[in-house]
Structure 1
Amino acid sequence: MDTVRAAAGGGAPATTISPVDGRSARWEAHREERRRALIKATRRAIHRLGADASMEDIAVTAGTSKSVFYRYFGDKSGLRQAVGAVVIRQMQHTIAAARQGASEPRTGVTAMVAAYLHMAQTSPNVYFFATNTSEGDARQSGDLSGFFDSVTEMITDPLRHLLGDPESALLDYWPAAAIGLVRTAGELWLQTPENPAKPNSQAMAEQISAWLFDGVGKLVAPALSPAQ
């Protein structure tokens, strides 16, 4: 153990440097770097193999063994949570940046939805792997819930402007309902095979925004009269 004195005259020790602590810090840094590398490898494997790929297939595609993944993530649920945390954080930052560049509420909503769809479309397999909570993983559900809560908060101001009443009771549930619409419509869109009639991400974002701001009646024509 090395002790650094505060003064040549022999004051109280100012700092104590432990070789063991130094090794521990280096090991933790190495472990964290290895985890990041495995998460990247997992995303590449899932992109190629699909969202339902097994741990063994992921490990083989990543060029390592299944035991390595178990050592760093515990099980497939832990791996899914680790990948999901990275993907969800990236989506949250991208959506927030899209909102910042908007000049008015509707433009902001459209930009956020377009950013969400574009990121999900980059790799639908990774998106569905990262957001799959069917296995009952509380950690993953918490990350995903936090993501949609933050997006709900972002969309509240534009919808408050739309409602014209900052104290409207509709704000208690309409923003959350809007996020549900965006997610459901977006995931159905992702799962639709490519065809000439399928809109691109920007066009889909504009359709969803029109639904939110204008109502579905503006998207179909003509609306039926009561007599019909």
Structure 2
Amino acid sequence: MKSARKAVHALGSDASMEDIAAAAGTSKSVFYRYFGDKAGLQQAVGEVVLSQMQRRIQEAAQSAQTPREGLLAMVSAYLQMAETSPNVYTFVTTHSAGDAGAASGSMATAGALGHFFEEVRDMIARPMREHLGAGREAVIGYWPTAAIGLVRNAGEQWLGTPASPGKPDQEAMARQITAWLCVGIAPELETRDTD
């Protein structure tokens, strides 16, 4: 599994099964025997990679003193892991063309990716429930899923943006996403709307 992940890291997320197998030092037939097809390989690599990401995100959240610090730590951990190997991240979070049951861009993804986002959703909901207190369950019911969508989509756009002086570094991007999650894009508009 480690050799397949290294091959994807080096070759890119669109590498063929044959190229990945060759770079991993084995044959395509061996990969097909173990994984079935490219979607099976994505699932297997995804389970390992996403488990590592989940562990890092959880460790980051546990070290935080406030819910906002926890969010920042989780967003930072997510962006760091995705930035470390964008090819592997893209490989495990993109459904293969042969996966007819997968809706492109859907948050309702199957397998390891769906499980990963469910676990992260629960992780971010717990401290917010405690912070907001009783009577805010309706907000907490929707917010974690929306938060994950924002983090994932903003993070993927950030990863795909070429390096330039205007592109924020990982820390600045994590802080910006956390601010969007906690106070929105223009908090001053809320006071104007309620006047």
Structure 1 98/61 Cα, relative in aligned 2: closer, same or farther at 3 Å?
A: same
State the superposition RMSD in angstroms.
2.2
For residues 77-96 of structure 1, the aligned pairs below 5 Å read 77-96=39-58
Q: Secondary structure at the match of 2:186?
A: helix
Q: What is the letter of the counterpart of residue 157 of structure 1?
A: R
User: 2: distance between equivalents of 1:191 and 1:73?
Assistant: 28
User: 2: distance between equivalents of 1:170 and 1:68?
Assistant: 49
Structure 1 133/86 Cα, relative in aligned 2: closer, same or farther at 3 Å?
A: same
Question: Of the candidates 128, 140, 145, which is equivalent to residue 171 of structure 1?
Answer: 140
Partner of 2:128: 159
User: 1: distance between equivalents of 2:90 and 2:39?
Assistant: 14
Partner of 1:133: 95
Deviation digits for residues 41-99 of structure 1 (CA, Å, limit 9, x no counterpart): 11111111110100111122122211111122122121111101101111110100000
For structure 1, the residue ranges without an aligned partner over 5 or more in a row are 1-38
Question: Of the candidates 111, 114, 120, which is equivalent to residue 145 of structure 1?
Answer: 114
TM-score for both structures, normalised by structure 2: 0.86
TM-score for both structures, normalised by structure 1: 0.74
User: 1: distance between equivalents of 2:5 and 2:120?
Assistant: 23
User: 1: distance between equivalents of 2:36 and 2:189?
Assistant: 56
For residues 54-203 of structure 1, the aligned pairs below 5 Å read 54-135=16-97, 136=99, 141-160=110-129, 164-168=132-136, 169-203=138-172
Q: What is the letter of the counterpart of residue 89 of structure 2?
A: Y
User: 2: distance between equivalents of 1:212 and 1:170?
Assistant: 13
Q: CA deviation at 1:193?
A: 0.8
Q: In the comparison of the two structures, how many residue pairs are matched? A: 184
Q: CA deviation at 1:146?
A: 1.1
For structure 2, the residue ranges without an aligned partner over 5 or more in a row are 103-108
| Greater C-alpha Rg | 1
User: 2: distance between equivalents of 1:137 and 1:43?
Assistant: 24
User: 2: distance between equivalents of 1:122 and 1:129?
Assistant: 13
Q: CA deviation at 1:175?
A: 1.3
Q: CA deviation at 1:161?
A: 5.2
